[in-house]
Amino acid sequence: MAFLTHLWLPLLLSGVFVWIASAVAWMAIGHHKQDRDAVPGGPEMERSERREDSMANGGTEREKRE
């Protein structure tokens, strides 16, 4: 177990690097974009969800009417 005390920094740094690389790859590749775009009425659904969120969070009257 003594060898782990010598490797704690490389293990920690490699874990952080892998986590950051996977997050960047997930955002950059966008391999699920077709799944989201394939929803019938997707843009209209997104607008209505934003409007509902605005109303629930105390949005302005104009936002509530839109």
Q: How far is Cα 45 from Cα 63, in angstroms, rounded to an integer? A: 16
- 58: DSSP letter: T
Higher local confidence (pLDDT), 58 or 13: 13
In this predicted structure, what is the pLDDT of residue 27? 84
Please spell the DSSP secondary structure of 11-51, one letter per residue: HHHHHHHHHHHHHHHHHHH-TTHHHHHTSTTHHHHHHHHHH
Percent of the chain with pLDDT over 90: 24
Which whole number is the average pLDDT over 51-62? 68
pLDDT digits (tens, 9 = 90+) for 27-44: 888 777 776 666 677 778
